[in-house]
Every structure is written in structure tokens, then in C-alpha cells.
């Protein structure tokens, strides 16, 4: 870009007051954004990305302080402006989109009121003129029937729709700079693809500058022109999109790429970044990445590296000088991918499982309908293999997991675990049967009781089942068993006496895995175990799961929405849509030769973290969003969004057809 930069940030330093000292969350970052350019700030959680965005808008939380530096937009120093004047800039010259569309709209105001507020404040529009403008804005962000939507409240809109409204609000003041803080993290892939397309189009149309904050390399590859990688409050690498994806220079960046699970890495352990981001209170003196860096040199620990140009426009802050494209990372040895042989008997057989939740209304609480959360799911898991259950949010995949464990009583169907029927089993044998099947939950912060020590948490299952033999007999052997489990999941024995809050997200997930393994289950139901974790930590957990499977022969039911994880880990895949499985089969076959249009669309909507010919035609874009499971469409559930839908699809739900080794529920597989 040869245009003069519109936004330039120089040596910005932001801190948070804690006690008597100010801890710097952002320590001297500098970057520029030109008109029409997208600059992506990439980094893991806790590295200061969001603080930077809040600092630019001067919307830091009350403990936040701007410690130094300057931010200038079109030559005006924003940090020097009085607050009253700053308010005319926010929304007018620069606008922000937040991560969570569900909480960034006021639930008691109509959409029209919320957009109108900006128009009135910044453009002085009111009455008919404002309404015209609002309709225009809603049309621009791709909302159908805008006249009706204006009078609606946020709860009447779906997640993607809310994010579109949020974007419309941000655009209402016609800003020159748009700050998007993880704008699609809370959305499903197919909706994420729609929103990213929308943002890209709007940016080109209006020539806005955009600061995109994300942790997702795929989103970066799809959207950014230039990229800045943040680590522990500092920028460590700034590069153009091409340079960034072809020749990442900083060891941290390289490690981020290497930690991504994907097909080509099947059978190999993922590269992980050891340790974790240093806390704000204990920043190392030299290079902040030194502790975790594979190429660390003595100088790294003493001296913070200076900026260095790798190639023109590609700056990196590292002492280590690599040859172009050379990787800082060690070569990984392949772990043996102990794919369980397809044995004769299945460990778990699920046939036509249904979970319907009644919708009650009125004083007498009469049932007026049902939410068909799970509506006839059949699947089978063999010992020692991994079945991935994939689908977007709200398709019922978590409900399936809980219904298998009988945590939610199924409405109909059968769940057979090693040939014993669990549905309708009496409470006592059911408790015994649950020993063979355990669950690892999504949110490591909610799945551990904060008031129990780690040792107690892990020992809970053992004492509940009074495991035979050495495990439950006396306290000492139980303690030894707990330490052995901690060791198995890679935690020190000293963890026993500590409380969960002292551990990071990844470590907590390890504790949760140890807790589930304590009762020696044969099947582990993993409900999105990595979706709340950073990429590098996710890699650690995936490696651990893989290693445990190789050593213990546990089977996994891996519930996820992340296709990269599926590709890396799963042996078999089942794709769910609106309470039903639409396609299942061997992982390679389903992922490479998807037959169901929904699977195809899902796969193509996943943003790939690599450079590719920006070929819009190849992508399949699904219109709309998943309908409500309380009121599923007639016939094939997918027909309202399906490009191939015909009259037949609208009338009749397709039977299962076997194509090769996999089974598809579609009238027109192919």
C-alpha cells in the first residue's frame, strides 16, 4: 500500500492497575493501517489484543490506564482529545464490533432504536430520513425484510442476524476505521463464512480501514492484508499476508502454524509450545517468548530483541536469524497411530435415539409442542477407535453425548454398551454401568468444582464406584493412584493439594481428563474439549488424547464443530444436522468425498489457514441459518438451505443410502 497510513499507533502502552502497581498488558506496540486495508492482530488469549482495541477507542475498563504512546487517526492524536470530543469520534470516525452478538445488543430496545441512536447522535438524522437510512443499512448487511426487522427486539433474531445488526450499527456513522474484535468467534462456520464475506465486501465498497482481532489463522488467511502477531503484550512479527503464510519468521508464529491439527499431520504428534504465556506480573526481562522458544539463545534471556526486516515490509522481533523459510521447530517423531482394528463387536451401539423436550405453556403447564433436540440418531463405536460427531451449534450433538450417559433421559431408542441396554435401566445397575463410559466437558472452568482440591476431584469417581481391588481399599493406595493419573496426563504430583483456580485452562482440561480416566472407562465422551482453549494448548490436549488412546485403548466419541480436529483425530465421522445424522462413515471418505450437500458446505465454509487462490466460485455458501429444532422443516430438514433441493426433498425425509463405506441421508447424494 502506498497510501499514507490513516491510523498510526506508535509505542502504545496500556496497563491495568492492580494494588499499587500498574501491570502493562500492552507494552509498546506500533502499527499503521491505511484506508481500505485490513490489519489483523493475531495472538492467543491474554496477549493484549482486546486491550489494544479498547485502548484505541479509549474504552478501557476502569482499572485500565494508558501508560504512554500515541494513536493518531488522520493526524489527530486521539489520546490527547478530551472525553467529550472523543465521543464524537467513537461511532462516527471509528466503530467497533464485539465478539458476542448476544450480549452486545440491548435486549429491551428494538433494532430500529439501536441503529437510530447512532444516526441521531452522529448524523443528526431523525424521522423518515433516519428510517430510510436504517432500511438501507440493514439491506447492506444482508438482512431480508428490513421493514419488519426494524421493529423487532434482539431476542427475535438469530445469532448471525444479531451480528449483522451489530455491523449495521457500526456502519451507521460511516466510520473510516472499523475495529472488529473476534467478530465471528461465537458463530457457526457457515454463518461465520457469511459474516466474513459481508465484512470483506463492505470494506471494499466503503474503503474503510479495518483492524481485525482474532486468534484464528483461517480467518486471517481469508481477510487480512497485513498481519501483526502479538505475544505477551508485544508485537513480535508484522508481515504482509503473502509473506506471513509462505515464510513466517518468528518461532512463535511458526509454532502457531505447526500446532494446527490437520489431515497431513495424522499419525504425528502435533507440535506444542511448552509452558504458557507469562503472567503480567512476571514478565521476563529479555525476549518474552524465550522460555517457550525452541531456538532460545543466551542473548534472548538478557536482551529484548530489536525489530529486524526479514524482507521488505516483513519485520520480526527475534534474535534468531533464519534462512528464508527455515523452520525454527524441531522435527517431530511420528507417534504410532494405534488405530483400533475394526473388531467384531461394537463397544457402543446406539439405535434410533430420540430426545424430545416438551414445550410447556399456560397456567396448567400443558405441553404444546416438543423441541426435537435429538430425533433418531444411530451410531456405533468400536473399542479403541474415535468417532467424531460434527455439527453446528444447536444441532443436538451435546444432547446426544449426555443422553448416551443417561444424564438426560432419552425419549426413545436404545443405547447398548457392551450388549447391555442402558435406556430404562434401574438406577443401581446404571450407576455401575456408567463406570465404562465417562465424559470430558467443554468448559474447563465450569467442569471442576472450585471448592475441592484436585486430589479430591480426581478421587471422587474412585470412591463413588468403590472400585474393586487396590483402588478404593485404603487411602494411601488411592492417593498413589491419583498421583499416577496426574503423571499420566502430564501434571506434577504437587497438584493434588491445589485448587482448580490455580491452573490454566489447558491444565484444567488435563485434570478433567484425569478425573474421567480414574474409573478406567472404555469410552470417553469428549464434548468439545478443546474449543475453549488456545491453539497451542489445544495441540497439547489433542496429543494427550491420542497418546492415551494408544496406551489405554480408550474409545472416544469426540463431539466437535472443528473440522481440523476431526481430520487430525477421528477414525470415523458422523455429521449431524438438526437432531439427525445426515452422513457417516470413515473419516477420510467423508472428509474427502463428502456426499451430503450439508457436509460439503460445512467443509468449504471452514476458513483454511493457508494461501489459496481466492476463488469465490469454489466456495459453497449456505444461505440462512439452522432452523429451530422445535419446528423442523418438512421433508428433508436441510431443504430450505440446500442448493439441490427439489419437490421430493420438501416432502419426504430421505432414507439412508450406503455409498461406498459411508451412509448418506440424501435424495441426491453426490
Binding site for other proteins (CB under 8 A): 402, 405, 407, 430-432, 434-435, 437-439, 441-443, 446-453, 457, 460-461, 464-465, 497, 499, 501, 512, 515-516, 519
Question: CB under 8 Å to 71, separation ≥6 — which residues?
Answer: 7, 8, 9, 10, 12, 55, 56, 77, 78, 79
Q: Which is nearer to other proteins, 382 or 447 (CB)?
A: 447
What is the arrangement of strands in the sheet containing 314-316, beginning at the earlier edge strand? Answer: 94-97, 177-181, 209-214, 38-42, 226-231, 234-240, 314-316, 308-311
Cα gap 431→49, rounded to integer Å: 46
| Shortest distance, position 118 Cβ to other proteins, whole Å | 35
Q: Which is nearer to other proteins, 109 or 408 (CB)?
A: 408
| Shortest distance, position 501 Cβ to other proteins, whole Å | 5
Q: What are phi and psi of 613, to 5 degrees?
A: -55, 125
| Shortest distance, position 475 Cβ to other proteins, whole Å | 15
Q: Which is nearer to other proteins, 455 or 609 (CB)?
A: 455
Q: Which is nearer to other proteins, 105 or 511 (CB)?
A: 511
Q: 504 has which bridge partners?
A: none
Q: Which is nearer to other proteins, 462 or 601 (CB)?
A: 462
Q: Which is nearer to other proteins, 411 or 442 (CB)?
A: 442
Cα gap 489→376, rounded to integer Å: 36
Q: Which is nearer to other proteins, 437 or 601 (CB)?
A: 437
Please give the C-alpha separations between residue 237 and each of 41, 46, 138, 213, 244, in angstroms, as whole numbers. 10, 17, 37, 15, 9
| Shortest distance, position 98 Cβ to other proteins, whole Å | 25
The grid coordinates listed for 376 are 433418531
Cα gap 540→599, rounded to integer Å: 28
Question: CB under 8 Å to 38, separation ≥6 — which residues?
Answer: 203, 209, 210, 211, 212, 223, 224, 225, 226
Cα gap 354→411, rounded to integer Å: 5
Q: Return the DSSP state at 144.
A: S
Q: How far apart are the first and last CA of the chain?
A: 44
Q: Which is nearer to other proteins, 342 or 497 (CB)?
A: 497
| Shortest distance, position 64 Cβ to other proteins, whole Å | 21
Characterize 282-314 residue by residue with b for buried, 16 or more Cβ atoms within 10 angstroms of its Cβ, and e for exposed. Answer: eeeebbbbbbbbebbeeebeeebbeeeebeeeb
Q: Which is nearer to other proteins, 235 or 523 (CB)?
A: 523
| Shortest distance, position 438 Cβ to other proteins, whole Å | 6
| Shortest distance, position 448 Cβ to other proteins, whole Å | 6
- Conformational region of residue 273, where left means phi above 0, alpha means psi within -120 to 50, and beta covers everything else: beta
Q: Which is nearer to other proteins, 244 or 441 (CB)?
A: 441
| Shortest distance, position 463 Cβ to other proteins, whole Å | 9
Q: Which is nearer to other proteins, 131 or 438 (CB)?
A: 438
Q: What are phi and psi of 644, to 5 degrees?
A: -100, 5
Q: Return the DSSP state at 627.
A: P
Spatial contact of 12 and 28, defined as CB atoms under 8 Å apart: yes
| Shortest distance, position 55 Cβ to other proteins, whole Å | 27
Spatial contact of 536 and 44, defined as CB atoms under 8 Å apart: yes
Cα gap 178→173, rounded to integer Å: 11
| Shortest distance, position 434 Cβ to other proteins, whole Å | 5
| Shortest distance, position 499 Cβ to other proteins, whole Å | 5
Amino acid at each position: 500500500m502506498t497510501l499514507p497510513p490513516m491510523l498510526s499507533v506508535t509505542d502504545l502502552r496500556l496497563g491495568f492497575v492492580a494494588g499499587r502497581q500498574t501491570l502493562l498488558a500492552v507494552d509498546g506496540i506500533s502499527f499503521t493501517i491505511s484506508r481500505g486495508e485490513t490489519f489483523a492482530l493475531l495472538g492467543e488469549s491474554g496477549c493484549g489484543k482486546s486491550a489494544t482495541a479498547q485502548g484505541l477507542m479509549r474504552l478501557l475498563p476502569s482499572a485500565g490506564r494508558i501508560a504512554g504512546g500515541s494513536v493518531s487517526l488522520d493526524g489527530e492524536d486521539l489520546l490527547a482529545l478530551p472525553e467529550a470530543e472523543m465521543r464524537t469520534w467513537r461511532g462516527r470516525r471509528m466503530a467497533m464490533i464485539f465478539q458476542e452478538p448476544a450480549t452486545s445488543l440491548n435486549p429491551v430496545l428494538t433494532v430500529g432504536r439501536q441503529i437510530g441512536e447512532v444516526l441521531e447522535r452522529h448524523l443528526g438524522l431523525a424521522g423518515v430520513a433516519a428510517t430510510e437510512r436504517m432500511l438501507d443499512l440493514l439491506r447492506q448487511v444482508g438482512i431480508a425484510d428490513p421493514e419488519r426487522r426494524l421493529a423487532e427486539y434482539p431476542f427475535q433474531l438469530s445469532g448471525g442476524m444479531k451480528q449483522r445488526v451489530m455491523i449495521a450499527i457500526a456502519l451507521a456513522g460511516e466510520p473510516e476505521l472499523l475495529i472488529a474484535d473476534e467478530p465471528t468467534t461465537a458463530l457457526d462456520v457457515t454463518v461465520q463464512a457469511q459474516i466474513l464475506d459481508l465484512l470483506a465486501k463492505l470494506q471494499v465498497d466503503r474503503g474503510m480501514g479495518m483492524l481485525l482481532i482474532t486468534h484464528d489463522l483461517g480467518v486471517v488467511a481469508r481477510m487480512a492484508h497485513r498481519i501483526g502477531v502479538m505475544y505477551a503484550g508485544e508485537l513480535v512479527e508484522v508481515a504482509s499476508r503473502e509473506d506471513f503464510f509462505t515464510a513466517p519468521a518468528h518461532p512463535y508464529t511458526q509454532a502457531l502454524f505447526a500446532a494446527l491439527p490437520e489431515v497431513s499431520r495424522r499419525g504425528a504428534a502435533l507440535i506444542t509450545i511448552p509452558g504458557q504465556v507469562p503472567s503480567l506480573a512476571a514478565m521476563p526481562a529479555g525476549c518474552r517468548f524465550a522460555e517457550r522458544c525452541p531456538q532460545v539463545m543466551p542473548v534472548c534471556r538478557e536482551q529484548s530483541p530489536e525489530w529486524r526486516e526479514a524482507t521488505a515490509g516483513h519485520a520480526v522481533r527475534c534474535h534468531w536469524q533464519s534462512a528464508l523459510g527455515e523452520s525454527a521447530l524441531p522435527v517431530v517423531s511420528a507417534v504410532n497411530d494405534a488405530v483400533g482394528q475394526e473388531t467384531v463387536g461394537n463397544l457402543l451401539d446406539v439405535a434410533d435415539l430420540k430426545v424430545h423436550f416438551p414445550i410447556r405453556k399456560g397456567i396448567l403447564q400443558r405441553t404444546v409442542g416438543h423441541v426435537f433436540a435429538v430425533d433418531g440418531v444411530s451410531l456405533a463405536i468400536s473399542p479403541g477407535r474415535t468417532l467424531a460427531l460434527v455439527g453446528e451449534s444447536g444441532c443436538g450433538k451435546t444432547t446426544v453425548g449426555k443422553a448416551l450417559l443417561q444424564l438426560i433421559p432419552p425419549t426413545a431408542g436404545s443405547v447398548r454398551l457392551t450388549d447391555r441396554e442402558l435406556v430404562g435401566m434401574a438406577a443401581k445397575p446404571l450407576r455401575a454401568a456408567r463406570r465404562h463410559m465417562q465424559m470430558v466437558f467443554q468448559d474447563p472452568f465450569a467442569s471442576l468444582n472450585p471448592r475441592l482440591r484436585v486430589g479430591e476431584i480426581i478421587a471422587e469417581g474412585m470412591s463413588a464406584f468403590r472400585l474393586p481391588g487396590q483402588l478404593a481399599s485404603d487411602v494411601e493406595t488411592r492417593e498413589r493412584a491419583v498421583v499416577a493419573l496426574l503423571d499420566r496426563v502430564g501434571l506434577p504430583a504437587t497438584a493434588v493439594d491445589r485448587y482448580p483456580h490455580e491452573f490454566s485452562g489447558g491444565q484444567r482440561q488435563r485434570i478433567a481428563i484425569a478425573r474421567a480416566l480414574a474409573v478406567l472407562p472404555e469410552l470417553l465422551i469428549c464434548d468439545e474439549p478443546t474449543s475453549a482453549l488456545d491453539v497451542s494448548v489445544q495441540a497439547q490436549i489433542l496429543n494427550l488424547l491420542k497418546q492415551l488412546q494408544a496406551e489405554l485403548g480408550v474409545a472416544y466419541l469426540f463431539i466437535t464443530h472443528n473440522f481440523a480436529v476431526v481430520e487430525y483425530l477421528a477414525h470415523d465421522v458422523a455429521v449431524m444436522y438438526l437432531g439427525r445424522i445426515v452422513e457417516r462413515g470413515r473419516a477420510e471418505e467423508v472428509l474427502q468425498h463428502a456426499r451430503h450437500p450439508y457436509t460439503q458446505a460445512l467443509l468449504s465454509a471452514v476458513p483454511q489457514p493457508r494461501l489459496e487462490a481466492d476463488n469465490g466460485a469454489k466456495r459453497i455458501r449456505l444461505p440462512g441459518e439452522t432452523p429451530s429444532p422445535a419446528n423442523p422443516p418438512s421433508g428433508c430438514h436441510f431443504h430450505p438451505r440446500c442448493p439441490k433441493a427439489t419437490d421430493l426433498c420438501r416432502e419426504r425425509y430421505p432414507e439412508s443410502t450406503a455409498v461406498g463405506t459411508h451412509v448418506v441421508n440424501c435424495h441426491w447424494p453426490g
